[in-house]
Amino acid sequence: MVLSGTGFWVSAMRGVVTSLRVVAPRALDLRVHARAEELHGWFPAEHKKRTGMDIDLDAFQRVLESVTSWQEHGRAAIIRG
pLDDT digits (tens, 9 = 90+) for 11-69: 888 888 888 877 877 766 778 888 888 888 889 999 999 899 999 999 999 988 888 88
- C-alpha to C-alpha distance for 63 and 77, rounded to whole angstroms: 21
> What domain range is 25 assigned to?
1-34
Is the pLDDT at 75 greater than 60, yes or no?
no
Same domain, 29 and 40: no
Same domain, 63 and 29: no
Same domain, 4 and 28: yes
DSSP for 41-57, please give it: GTHHHHHHHHHS----H
- C-alpha to C-alpha distance for 67 and 47, rounded to whole angstroms: 19
| Predicted TM-score (pTM) above 0.95 | no
Same domain, 60 and 45: yes
Same domain, 48 and 15: no
DSSP 25: -
Same domain, 79 and 50: yes
- C-alpha to C-alpha distance for 27 and 35, rounded to whole angstroms: 24
Same domain, 70 and 50: yes
Residue among 61, 59, 56, 54 at smallest CA distance from 40: 61
